[in-house]
Chains A and B, each alone.
Chain A
Amino acid sequence: MSAPLLEVRHLSVDFPTRRGTLLAIDDVSFDIAPGEVLGVVGESGAGKSLTGAAIIGLLEPPGRIAGGEILLEGRRIDKLPHEDMRKLRGRHIGAIFQDPLTSLNPLYTVGRQLVETIRTHLPLSEKQARERAIALLADTGIPAPEARFDQYPHQFSGGMRQRVVIALALAAEPKLIVADEPTTALDVSIQAQIIALLKKVCREHGAAVMLVTHDMGVIAETCDRVAVMYAGRIVEIGPVADVIHRPAHPYTVGLMGSIPAMDEDRERLLQIDGAMPRLNAIPAGCAFNPRCPKVFDRCRVERPDLAQAGATRAACWLLASHGAAS
């Protein structure tokens, strides 16, 4: 296997507050290979968006990286000065956010925003940048890109705006794109278009993607590997087909079972009772233990680490003890 493009090692993010420090991401490690699409799923508050924000250096204070390291092509990027990080962002890491309306400046034309981004990162003349911007708009499937170039964001529909945001993210040919819920604000028919587009342009431009979403369907369609997060930790990570069809962790099993499927009829959905714990009340041991149907004594006191479980890696004592026995 080639050297990973992005390495995240033992990353922790915390929020110091008056009533103590809240640990929002707790010892998360993963790699992304060049050109790979890694999905990150989990329910609200699992820490998936924060992981993305930590990587692109956009954690909102008081949130801060409390430990661990992030390496892009072997170079540490988590301790970079503000100005260096700003240059890196856009040039080497592109970002796509959930709401395409707030990620574009309403006062500038779409073309101007693209040209500005391109010229900030690439040594191109105004004319060359304009040509490149129009080519990018065409690449992202915007009809009549020359005419659209001089229009403002409000003249675009939601789906078209998200295409512009994708064009912006790709403007400087970054090797990694962090996409945080890129299709959540869109209708299903538009969602399908945007997913297909994201897949196509990232393949053509050779960009790796970290796709953060709560939608398992989007993950299944798009990703090579998927990481499942729960209460600030990765509970399972592995190839998409294995995690979806042969999940090892009880949380992943429950998550998959609670999604209404299109290809089978069930009278009742599998349900995970309870809700994800709040950050100030994460249970001892495995964070999932109060909701886990297979909980036993060890889960309540000791925290499991990721261990090989078939084709995936999962953090569960059930699998660890099983592995030790065999």
Chain B
Amino acid sequence: MNKPLVEVQDLAKTFEVSAPWLNRVVEGKPRQFVHAVDGVSFDIGRGRTLALVGESGCGKSTVARLLVGLYAPTRGTIRFDGQDTRAVFASAGGQALHRRMQMIFQDPFASLNPRWKVLDIVAEPLREHGLVQGKAAVQDRVGELLKSVGLAAADAAKFPHQFSGGQRQRISIARALATQPEFLVCDEPTSALDVSVQAQVLNIMKDLQQRQGLTYLFISHNLAVVRHVADDVGVMYLGRLVEVAPKAELFARPRHPYTRMLLDAIPDIGMSGRARTPVQGEVPNPLEPPSGCSFHPRCPHANERCRSERPLQQMLGGIRIACHAVEEGRI
């Protein structure tokens, strides 16, 4: 197999959420940190889609922002096409690297400047990176980009408010494609959309991937959507990646108890009236994560070792998993 396009090793990001200095001194409170991403490792092969799933607050969006360089990692390395991105972003070559990776955000209402015409929105990366010179050339290129996402070239003269949510999300995709990136990070690109419109956007993303050989990191909390778009799936819980497996494998034979729980929780359209076992418990406070395996308070298979010792990600039968019970063959 070829070398993966993106290699992430032991990535971590810590945010300080302490009270202000004076309060800390007067009230004797310690500094507080939240480990939003805590030692995550994965690879994404060229032309493939890795989906990250998990519940709110599990750190999936932070991973997305770390990858495109919107945050600097606290620990760990990200390699893009063999280069350490942290070093490259700091050097003169940073601009060129930014050109090769772009991001699509969740909210198509907040991610487009309402005062700019679509032409300026889509042309901004072209101008920023100096890719196209001259007004006419820019217009042609923007028209092309809009057509590639199923809009008309004439739409360039309109403002964002003249479009529906699904059309706006296409504009964000056109903007992301402007620099001809190889890698797109999509943070919940369809969560704000209705299902029929979601289908349009997902279809466009698939077509573009096939046509241009794009690599995607696709972040979603919707497992049905993930099952449709992904090649590989990573499941996150409280800042850690608990299982990474090829899609077919993960959905047919989920190994980690949390993955099983998530799959069991999806309302199933096909089996009307099926009784399912409701999941127990809730996501703990990320400021005070449980000791050992952070999932142990909700896990039906937890034992003494799970409560005290943190399981490490390891390869078991072709998948990456972090679970003592699976490792010991208890489940």
Contact = CB atoms under 8 A, between A and B. Distances in A.
B274 A258 contact: no
Contacts of A244: 269, 272
Contacts of B198: 258
Given A188-B266, A260-B224, A262-B223, A193 B279 contact: yes
B200 interface: yes
A220 B272 contact: yes
Question: Most chain-B CB neighbours within 10 Å: which of A159, A261, A262, A267?
Answer: A262
B199 interface: yes
Contact of A188 (B206, B251, B265, B270): B265
A256 B227 CA distance: 16
Contact of B261 (A157, A189, A270, A275): A189
Interface in B208-238: 221-225, 227-228
B244 to A, nearest CB: 19
Nearest to B280: A193
A217 interface: yes
A240 B265 contact: no
Contacts of B278: 192-193, 196-197
B22 interface: no
A280 interface: no
Interface residues of A, number: 46
A135 interface: no
B266 A262 contact: yes
Contact of B224 (A159, A190, A193, A259): A259
A256 B270 CA distance: 11
Nearest to A266: B228
B242 to A, nearest CB: 14
B269 A216 contact: yes
A309 interface: no
B268 interface: yes
B262 interface: yes
A259 B195 contact: yes
Given A187-B55, A192-B276, A263-B270, A258 B282 contact: no
A291 to B, nearest CB: 9
A260 B202 contact: yes
A60 interface: no
Nearest to A264: B270
26 contacts: A43-B194, A187-B56, A187-B283, A189-B262, A189-B265, A190-B279, A195-B267, A196-B278, A216-B269, A217-B224, A217-B268, A218-B267, A220-B270, A241-B272, A258-B195, A258-B198, A259-B195, A259-B199, A260-B224, A262-B251, A270-B199, A271-B200, A272-B196, A272-B199, A273-B200, A275-B167
Q: Which 5 pairs from chain A and chain B are nearest by CB?
A: A217-B267, A258-B199, A260-B228, A43-B194, A269-B199
